Structure 1
Amino acid sequence: MADEHTSSFYDDNAATYASRQRTLPVRRLDAFLLMLPPGAAILDLGCGGGQDSAYMLSKGFDVTPIDGSPAIAKQAEAFLGRPVTVLRFEDLDEDEVFDGVWAEASLLHVPRANLPEVLERIRMALRPGGTFHATFKAGEAEGHDGFGRYYNYPSAELLSEMLSNGGWHNIVISEGDGTGYDGKPARWLAVRTQK
């Protein structure tokens, strides 16, 4: 579960955060969608303001957006014009319902110790052969940013080990430089793998 400071940040800054100028990760979205059948069922896990969900919906996919912050979910609902479920990652309890799970810059707030369990919940929610995408800020040790938000800051090696031990297949982890909401440079890890 995200710590109190992290949860408070999203609840207190929901409107600003959800409506910020953000470049859609179109290359990652398209690569993910190419791995799914047309009209596939997708879970947008930690949907934020809903922009990624809107893109996937526009491509004809059946998207279920969820977010752990009630205030952020309300913003996403207004943007998407459809319900957004409020659910924490640790409470995900679905069995082979989705063809794909999209977790762009959301699982990075899960405490490292809880990450294997959350990854297993995601794996259970996927149908056999389903595709999972996630991005993380890279690092060596857990920590907090200037806003007080918790980050698990994994290395590519740690993620690869967690996923392999969790029974995932075709694990691809790419690295790239970018920024986050705080505007500071960050090394990002993009993970794509299959059940």
Structure 2
Amino acid sequence: MMDEKSNRTLDFYNTQAPQYVAETVDLDVSNIRNLFLNHIPEGGHILDLGCGSGRDSRFFLAHGCSITAVDASDELANLASEFIGQPVENLSFQEIDYLEAFDGIWACASLLHCPKSAMGGVMQRMTKALKPNGIIYMSFKYGTDERIDERGRFFNDYTEASMSKLLAEYAELQIVEIFTETKPLRSGFQTWLNVFARKHVK
């Protein structure tokens, strides 16, 4: 069950879906997508977790991957489904339930809306969903707080230290790379934390 902060965030995406798609569908994240694809076998299966506009699902499909795309917003899921030409599942992070189905999980600027109190359960679900040696990519706004932005959306921010501490709780996951980058965002700039973690084969 979602809490009030998550429900308010979801309300934003449901009511502002066309505007949000227009803002994000052409954003250039090609460098990160290419880094991610380096870890995915040819024709691999990717979970686009919180797919938004479907921008990245469409890219991965064009590069020969198979895609399972999900989004908690039913409005975004509908728009993304039209954009990528296949159904998008209307699921929250806490509802995904797959067993060793994916070579990679792409969570680009999506898990930053998951409360820190729920991150543990979501990490367990993602780990379960990955095949052995599968890779997770996640991105967060850089910081230490949980907060509500000017649009009413909830965010959980991470640093290298706080993310490393979180991932250290999951023996099956090994950090591959953590790095920051500062990019334009609307009228200013935003520093992002990028995280790659691999499911360790015992």
TM-score, with structure 2 as normaliser: 0.92
Deviations 1:21-65 (A, max 9, x none): 532311111111111110001000000000100000000001111
What amino acid does structure 2 have at the position aligned with 1:178? K
| Alignment match of 1:85 (pick from 89, 92, 112) | 89
- Corresponding residue SS for 2:47: strand
Q: Which position in structure 2 is the counterpart of 1:177?
A: 182
Q: Give runs of aligned pairs for residues 1-195 of structure 1, distance below 5 A.
A: 1=2, 3-20=6-23, 22-167=26-171, 168-180=173-185, 183-195=187-199
Deviations 1:55-96 (A, max 9, x none): 000000011111010000011011112110000000111110
CA drift of 1:179 comes to 4.0
CA contact (8 A) 1:141 1:153 kept: yes
CA distance in 1, matches of 2:196, 2:143: 19
CA contact (8 A) 1:14 1:71 kept: yes
Deviations 1:158-192 (A, max 9, x none): 11111121121133110111244x54422100000
CA distance in 2, matches of 1:53, 1:90: 20
CA distance in 2, matches of 1:111, 1:41: 27
CA drift of 1:156 comes to 1.6
TM-score, with structure 1 as normaliser: 0.95
Using a 3 Å threshold, how does the CA distance of structure 1 residues 179 and 121 change in structure 2: closer, same or farther?
farther
CA distance in 2, matches of 1:111, 1:14: 21
Which ranges in structure 1 are unaligned for 5 or more consecutive residues?
none
Runs of 4+ in structure 1 displaced over 6 angstroms? none
Shifted more, 163-172 versus 112-121: the winner is 163-172
Deviations 1:124-167 (A, max 9, x none): 00001100001000111110111010001122211111112112
CA distance in 2, matches of 1:78, 1:84: 9
CA contact (8 A) 1:24 1:51 kept: no
Deviations 1:105-129 (A, max 9, x none): 0000000111111111101000011
What amino acid does structure 1 have at the position aligned with 2:116? R
CA distance in 2, matches of 1:140, 1:51: 28
Q: Percent identity?
A: 35
Which ranges in structure 2 are unaligned for 5 or more consecutive residues?
none
CA drift of 1:194 comes to 0.2
CA distance in 1, matches of 2:46, 2:135: 9
CA distance in 1, matches of 2:19, 2:76: 10
CA contact (8 A) 1:163 1:171 kept: no
CA contact (8 A) 2:167 2:175 kept: no
